[in-house]
Amino acid sequence: MNREKAIVLLSGGLDSATCLYKAKGQGYEPVALSFNYGQRHKAELQAAKRLAAHLGIEHQIISVDLRKIGGSALTAEIAVPKGGEHLTQEGSIPVTYVPVRNLIFLSLAYALAESAAAAAIYIGVNAIDYSGYPDCRPDFIESFARTAALASKSGREGHGADIVTPLISLSKAEIAAEAVRLGVPVALTWSCYDPQPSGPNLVPCRNCDACILRRDGFMAAGLALSPEEIYGSPTERA
Contacts of 91 (CB under 8 A, 6+ apart): 132
CA-to-CA dists, residue 15 to 148, 162, 228, 235, angstroms: 23, 19, 16, 19
CA-to-CA dists, residue 221 to 39, 57, 69, 70, 85, angstroms: 30, 29, 38, 36, 22
pLDDT confidence of residue 167? 97
pLDDT confidence of residue 89? 65
Residues above pLDDT 90, as percent of the chain: 88
Quick check: is 61 in a domain?
yes
Quick check: is 94 in a domain?
yes
pLDDT confidence of residue 2? 44
Contacts of 40 (CB under 8 A, 6+ apart): 73, 74, 75, 80, 193, 194
CA–CA separation, 21 and 23 (whole Å) = 5
Element (H, E) at 76: none
3-state class of 82 per DSSP?
Answer: strand
For the stretch 16-61, pLDDT in tens is 999 999 999 999 999 999 999 999 999 999 999 999 999 999 999 9
pLDDT confidence of residue 84? 81
With 50 as the cut, is the pLDDT of residue 146 above it?
Answer: yes
Quick check: is 142 in a domain?
yes
Quick check: is 80 in a domain?
yes
Residue 89 lies in domain: 5-171
The DSSP-derived string for 157-180 is TT-PPEEE-TTTT--HHHHHHHHH
Cβ-contact 34, 123 below 8 angstroms: no
Under DSSP, the state recorded for 98 is P
Residue 20, domain CATH: 3.40.50.620
| Total number of domains in the chain | 1
Quick check: is 111 in a domain?
yes
* CA 160 remoteness from chain centre: 22
Task: Indicate the pLDDT class of residue 237, thresholds 50, 70 and 90.
Answer: confident
For the stretch 152-205, pLDDT in tens is 999 999 999 999 999 999 999 999 999 999 999 999 999 999 999 999 999 999
Task: Indicate the pLDDT class of residue 128, thresholds 50, 70 and 90.
Answer: confident
Quick check: is 187 in a domain?
no
With 90 as the cut, is the pLDDT of residue 85 above it?
Answer: no
Backbone angles phi, psi at 67, to 5 degrees: -65, -30
Quick check: is 176 in a domain?
no
Quick check: is 234 in a domain?
no
- How much is the average pLDDT of 89-98? 83
